[in-house]
Amino acid sequence: MASTARTTSCLYGITAVGMLWLVAMLAAAAVAQEPQPQHWDRATASSLLSYIEQIGGQGLNPADYEPSQLRQAIDSADAATLEQQATESFGLVAEDLATGHVQPGQRGRYYIAPDSLDPNRVSRMINMAITAHQVSWVLDSFAPQNPEYAALRKALAGPDGADAAKRSKLTATLERWRWFPHNPGGRYLIVNIPEYSLRLIDAGKEIESHKVIVGKPNLPTPQFSTEVTGVIFNPPWNVPQSIIRESVGALVRGNPAGARSHGYAWTSVAGHLEVTQAPAPGNSLGQMKLDMPNPLRVYLHDTPGKALFDEPDRTFSHGCMRLQDPFDLAETLLANAGWDRRRIDAAVASRTTRRVALSTPLPVYVVYMTAVPQADGSVLYLKDPYTQDAPVAAQLN
């Protein structure tokens, strides 16, 4: 027992006396294994300055990244000044390439959550740039890596960049790609408002595309993201109050029999007229709606007005997006849930409302890109139906 007591006593003694020393030694060893902060040298800072001076090639303004201050710091003999200014300029460039220059509150009707930029990543990339004595490829890694962004940069550097109208579209669209999530998912839907189109993208490839109708200029479809969780066949239409005030309310009050013949039913709740249109081929939602919950109450759906898809400029809705050939898309989205076209057609013919869940929720993004790269390397320049390019270009300048 005495021997055991002495051993225990000795053990406690080592723990008490030597613990601080042991912790300090372990911490020092851990720090020694971590990459140590690198410090800017004049050559690497000069490479950063050159990058900033050429950043107009991405539609950004060099003046936003303090080039004159950086030049002065390079010319000075003060290492601390160089360290502070080069780090600040690098961080400003990295942030704008990663998340966009126009601040979220200044992007108009834009409701797509921005990417976040981890300060630790910026620090690591600064160390990498200094170690490699190379800034350009490090900063380029913060920018979108999709082929559209690369193609638009190429167009901006070519003859199109000298055309004022095309340059405005290129710079605005490059900026919107910087707003867009850099990792949107392996499979997703994307609606481009000025193109009046929807595409299903899978592993970077377009699987199918559809024409869409979007909101009128005075009732614009917003840019937003959500998830499609299911497909609703024969949906009823809960008429928004804005449309009740605009047209349906007058029909209900002035010609109730005619309103009923169009499938409308209504009630008064706290003095407000509430109207629902029953499922039918003539229902304003058509015979299919994508279930994509969002607080904006903007959806993708069928329409009885098929002829409008032949129009080149399709700004006819109250904000929702009407979809051409909706059952083709439904067949693709529900394939993993065991639904083929025959089963879809039977569900629609029943005129009974039915929701079918997707096997996996599908991200959907509604965006506004007026410069669209084509497969042949050219860029398609679209009309700006909501006059959104000029405000973005102005904030970039």
HSE-CB at 379 with a 13 A cutoff on CA atoms is 28
Alpha helices in the chain (DSSP H): 2-33, 42-53, 67-75, 79-99, 119-132, 136-140, 147-157, 164-179, 241-243, 249-254, 256-261, 326-333, 341-349, 389-396
Residue 320: C-alpha distances to residues 109, 294, 316 (Å): 14, 12, 10
Q: Spell out the residues 6+ positions from residue 397 whose beta carbon is closer than 8 angstroms to its own.
A: 61
Of 249, 233, 198, which Cα lies nearest the Cα of 367? 198
Of 349, 284, 333, 315, which Cα lies nearest the Cα of 211? 315
Contact 215, 317 (CB under 8 A): yes
CA diameter of the chain: 105
CB neighbourhood size of 91 (10 A): 17
| 387 conformational bin, left if phi > 0, alpha if psi -120 to 50, beta if neither | left
First to last CA, the chain: 83
CA distance 59 to 396: 8
Contact 304, 282 (CB under 8 A): yes
Q: Are strands 197-202 and 187-192 parallel, antiparallel or unpaired?
A: antiparallel
Helix axes 119-132, 42-53, angle to 10 degrees: 110
Q: Which residues are catalytic?
A: 301, 320
CA distance 158 to 162: 8
Helix axes 79-99, 42-53, angle to 10 degrees: 40
Of 234, 353, 232, 228, which Cα lies nearest the Cα of 292? 228
How deeply is 114 buried, as exposed, middle or buried, from its count of CB atoms within 10 A (0-12, 13-18, 19+)?
Answer: middle
